[in-house]
Amino acid sequence: MINFDLPKSIPLYTSFFHEWCFMKKILTLAALVVVAQTSFAQPVKPTYAYFEGANLSMGVAQNATKAVSTASTTKANTNVGLAKLNYTFALAYPAKLGVSATFDLKNSKVVDGQVLAKNSPSEITIEPGVLLRSNSLLYAKLGTYASTYQSSVGSRKLSGSSYGIGLKHYVYGQNFIQAEWTQRATDTVNAGLGGDKFKQSSAALLVGFNF
């Protein structure tokens, strides 16, 4: 009798499929939020008032986390959902000044059994910017970062700093797309239970609505 071995599942493909499903859900939710807000939207703002006032954006990001200890350096990538609340003030043309709270919606992996857990919020940032066009804003971001290191043996609150750069572009009325790159790092006095220091770079793509 001839025996046929059934093919085994491939963990890499399974993991990729789950990550893609997660990102798809977040992007779908963000799109639904924009559509719902548009349904109740006030009249479209004039172009000179773009970016001013309160706005909400949601999307996905890839967090590249590096843990550095005296013995080794480890790296891990995690796809996470992201939500951002912002209020932007008008300055002398063409300048704007934003204040933002950013929320990671999923923990970031460090190594197996260790994560940087989501915090509420993950970042508080000041974001000075300049208009490139009436509907495009280039901005820098500088502020604080907070997370919780969690492992099988315990957890510890972490705090630190964040900085980065972003571009926001209005595509229709009060609806916009947004791209950001952010560098996060824990303070020198903060570390994991084993003394690890953490750095994290995040590349994000979001869609949003200005109220």
Distance (Å, whole) CA 127 – CA 129: 6
How many percent of the chain have pLDDT more than 70? 74
Query: Residue 50 contacts by C-beta under 8 Å, 6 or more apart in sequence?
Result: 134, 135, 137, 170, 210
Q: Tokens 């964040």 appear where? A: 162
Residue 26 resides in a domain: yes
Domain encompassing residue 134? 11-210
Q: Minimal CA–CA distance to 181: which of 206, 201, 162?
A: 201
Tell me, yes or no, whether 152 lies in a domain: yes
Structure tokens at 169: 């572009």
pLDDT in tens, 70-95: 778 889 999 999 999 999 999 998 99
Amino acid at 161: S
CATH code, domain carrying 140: 2.40.160.20
Instruction: Answer yes or no: is 78 within a domain.
Output: yes
Res. 28: pLDDT tops 90: no
Counted domains in the chain: 1
CA-based radius of gyration for the chain: 20
For residue 79, tell me if it sits in a domain: yes
Provide the 10 A C-beta neighbour count for residue 133. Answer: 11
**Residue 4 belongs to a domain:** no
Tell whether the torsion through CA atoms of 21, 25, 31 and 32 is positive or negative: positive
Let me know if residue 199 belongs to a domain: yes
For residue 6, being part of any structural domain is answered with: no
Helix runs in the chain, H state only: 11-39
What whole-number distance in Å separates Cα of residue 142 and Cα of residue 164? 7
Report helix, strand or coil for 174.
coil
Per the domain annotation, does 145 fall within a domain? Answer: yes
What is the model's pLDDT at position 211?
85
Whole-Å CA distances, 71 to 67, 75, 114, 197: 11, 14, 17, 12
pTM of the model: 0.77
Lowest-confidence pick of 24-33, 59-68, 92-101, 142-151: 24-33
